[in-house]
Structure 1
Amino acid sequence: MTGELWWVPSAIVLGVVCVVVALLVGLARRRTSARERALAEATAERSRVASIALVRADDLVEANADELAFAVAQFGEGATRDFAAALALSTRQLKEAFALQQKLDDGIPDSETERRRWTEQIAQLADEATTRLQAQTRDFSSRRGLERDAPLLLEKLQRRLDRVADRVAAGAASLARLSRTYSASALASIGDNAGRAQAALGEAHAATDAAAAQLAADTARPVGDQLQAAEHGLFRAGKLLDAIETGEDRLHLGFAALARALDAADVELAEARTLRDAHEEPDARVDLNRVIAEADAALGELRRSARLSDPAADLAGLRETMDGLDVIRSDARNRQLRLDNARGALSGALLAVRSQLTVTRDFITGQPGQVGADARTRLAESERQLTLALAETDPVAALDGARRAMTLATDADALARFDVR
């Protein structure tokens, strides 16, 4: 009886385990099935998109074959060579795409990986062919519009030629005027712009003359290339002339900045001269004299009336000169400040060492025979250092001597009191 009861809980546990396993297996199968359905749907969508792209590209190739024939008749084979090459390449890509589509449609089983790869290749080939041919179609549509409006465009170009010719003359006059103020290095970036603009204008003139002659002859030959050449020539001339105007503004701004920098340099030089005249150290005055003379010479050269300026280079050179002056001036200021500070501290140091010497001397004198030679030696050296400090003309050296005397005096006092104890 007991054995039978023992098997009852075991059976229940086993049943629960089986149920759980069955649930897990069912859930895994449902998840796998859901993934498979999602993957199949994605593959079907990619296949649909690729088929649409393939059909669109095939229609476009057919249409562009006729378009190319019309373009050759209108513009000639030379002007349509790129169009023909684009059509040939797109046709080859389309054949490759159809071959891949056939592999997808035949009865031979394909793996899912192969079907995805071939579908992506079909879409890519069709899109590339479509994009290439659409670009060519837009280009030749633009050319046809250009040919259609050629008389009006030619008239506008001829009016622009006159305006640009006036600008070329003004640009040449500006460069001539600038050359009287600025050096060749300052004008290097724009110095030959008027000549280059004149050459570009000449090319534009030649192109418009050729287009006008062709239109006057009433031939079927296109004039779009001549009109575009004229447009490009006018564009290049305009950019070159714009650069002259921009360069002139830049030079004038630089020249004004140089004038302000020269005025500021005058102020710095005046401060340097004041410092030199008041400085106590001969070496510092010599150094200041040297950099002041260099700065004076540099400013004089920059202000020379007949001199041609390069504002950017002149500003850089002036700044370098004034930086050298500033280094020496700062050093001289620090040295003078050190002297002034030492002079201010010296009187206090002398008062302190004299007081300490008096205290120490009185203590030793009041203890005859009890203070040893060490204390008395330091006292004597302290008095000697004080004498040297009083005779020193350099306040820094005098302060150092007074401080040495103070150290010796305090040492002498400590040794004396130790001897007495």
Structure 2
Amino acid sequence: MAGFWGKRKRDEALEAQDDDLARRARSALVAADERIRVTTDELAFAEAELGNEPTQDLRDALTAVRTHLAEAFHLNQLNHDEIPDTAEELRTRHARIVQLCEWAQELLDDRTEALAAPIERARRGPEIIAGVRADAARQRARLPHARDTLARLRARYSAEAMQRVEANPAEAEQLIGFAEHSAGISERRREAGQREQANLALEAATEASRRAGALLEAVETFEVEALRAESTLSAIIEDSREDLVVAMREPANPGVTAAIVALHEALAALPAAGVNTDPFTLLTRLREANTGLDAAIAAARERAARVIPPLEHVRHSIDDADRQLAVVRDVIAGHRGWIGSDARTRLAEAERIRIDLDRYLGTSAAAATTIDEDHRDQAMAMARRVGFLASEALQLAQRDIDSSRPQDQNWGGPQQQGWGGGRRGGGGNDLMGGILGGLVIGSLLDGMFD
């Protein structure tokens, strides 16, 4: 009886969900259809304001939405024809109707929002044109001051430094004229009803006016930044001389010596007082040399504090890793049908790191006669990782071999020899024990060398 009432409650809950889905589908259909009608009107208005090309995306979206909404109406018609439908069929159609309508709403939202700013700009066309002309007048008034500023800067800074802003007033004047001309074109095209061309000309005028203002502002900014660069350069010169004194006290190191020479050269290249200079280039050059010296000293101190493994210890770690790899390869190759994924995965990872070790050293690690001191720590760590993974692979392989053998203590019969020449519990385990014991001894010797 409890099962009957439980099934009835589930059926009632499902019916309620289906009723809700049907209501959502009907409401979504109405809303999507009405949205198409509203957007069609909006498209006509946008075409009048912007022209055909800027509104093409919205036009394409409306075409796609009408096509898919026709499918939604067809599905809704199937739900109300004379052919009986199952609950599952109704549920599937209602869900599809909701999906199509939501997609239509989202697409139209996206396309209409993209046109909102251009339409608003087109509506404000006359106002924007007036603003462009006002900006152009203000910027023309700034041109004499910008030229006077350039004349003052030429007396202080080199031609190389002045290249950043030398042509700015002339370019700004050209852009101002272009902005005024484009504003006039926009105004005439708008009066002639050529909205698309009017809007393009308006955008060109606005951008030209903005660029002209930026060029004139850059002249003023250059003067301030140049004075700041000169002040910073003086401070870095003083710091560099003090850094050289400290660097000369450091223990001999090729990297530090080269950095000292580079900083000396950068200081010696500084022009004499009264010479027109490029403070930006001088500051960059001196800062790079100063930073290079700091980095070289830090690297030398870090290297001096770090214990560099002797070459023979690194070679021993690599040889030991190669020995352990060879052992586990032979064991897995001799018992392919018995070895599981864990052992094979450890071996594959060990072999990958072993290949990476050769790449890191730029040559075969096994054949390398010398290894740079800066690479020895990493090379030893990689070799030890290879050995550890190979040892794990060997232990996992032994586990797989033991679990794959029959549990009979007389496996193979009294006269049959087991793996490695012995019976279960005899030669096989003795051999594997010897291998593992050898690896343990190898790792102990490795630790003694370290």
Compute the TM-score of the two structures, normalised by the length of structure 2.
0.50
Structure 2 distance, partners of 1:88, 1:102, is: 21
| Distance (whole Å) between structure 2 residues aligned to residue 71 and residue 326 of structure 1 | 65
Q: Confirm whether residue 298 of structure 1 aligns to residue 266 of structure 2.
A: yes
Specify the alignment match of 2:288 in structure 1: 316
Aligned length: 297
Whether 1:94 and 2:69 are equivalent positions in the alignment is: yes
The one of 165, 181, 201 aligned to 1:226: 201
TM-superposed CA distance for 1:316, in Å, is 1.1
Q: 1:12-411 counterparts in 2 under 5 A?
A: 22=1, 26=2, 28-69=3-44, 71-72=46-47, 76-134=51-109, 146-165=121-140, 181=157, 201=176, 203-214=178-189, 218-222=191-195, 223-237=198-212, 253=228, 255-270=230-245, 295-302=263-270, 304-305=272-273, 306=275, 307-309=277-279, 310=281, 311-321=283-293
Change (3 A) 1:177 1:33: farther
C-alpha displacement of 1:208: 0.5
Pick the structure with greater CA Rg. 1
After TM superposition, the score normalised by the length of structure 1 is 0.53
261 and 57 in structure 1: CA distance in 2 versus 1, 3 angstrom threshold: same
CA distance in 2, matches of 1:31, 1:240: 78
1:104-123: CA deviation from partner (whole Å, max 9, x where unpaired):
33344445554444333322
Is contact 1:272–1:329 with CA below 8 Å preserved after alignment?
no
> What secondary structure does 2:20 align onto?
helix
The residue type equivalent to 1:264 in the other structure is: D
Residue 72 (structure 1) shift: 4.5
> 290-299 vs 100-109, which deviates more?
290-299
Shift of 1:57: 1.6
Q: Encode CA deviations 1:318-339: one digit per residue, 9 max, x unaligned.
A: 322465578889999xxxxxxx
* Whole-angstrom CA distance in 2 between matches of 1:220 and 1:288: 73
Listed as ranges, the gaps of 5+ residues in structure 1 are: 1-21, 277-282, 333-421
Letter of the 2:278 partner, please give it.
L
Q: Which residue identity is paired with 2:205?
A: A
Change (3 A) 1:67 1:254: same
Structure 1 residue 140: Cα displacement: 6.3
Q: Kindly tell me: are residues 38 and 155 of structure 1, through their superposed partners in 2, closer, same or farther at Cα, counting changes over 3 Å?
A: same
1:288–1:329 CA contact under 8 A, matched in 2: no
Separation in 2, partners of 1:261, 1:52: 72
Shift in alpha-carbon separation, 1:35–1:331, aligned structure 2, 3 A: closer
Counterpart residue identity of residue 77, structure 2: Q
Mark the CA change 1:256 to 1:123 in structure 2 (over 3 Å): closer, same or farther: farther
Task: Work out the CA distance in 2 between the residues paired with 1:293 and 1:36.
Answer: 88
> What amino acid does structure 2 have at the position aligned with 1:259?
S
Alpha-carbon offset, residue 263 of structure 1: 0.9
Identity of aligned residues (%): 25
CA deviations 1:343-394 (Å, max 9, x no partner) are xxxxxxxxxxxxxxxxxxxxxxxxxxxxxxxxxxxxxxxxxxxxxxxxxxxx
- Which runs of 5 or more residues in structure 2 are unaligned? 305-450
Is the contact made by 1:54 and 1:122 (CA closer than 8 Å) also made in structure 2? yes
Which structure's residues are more often helix, by fraction? 1
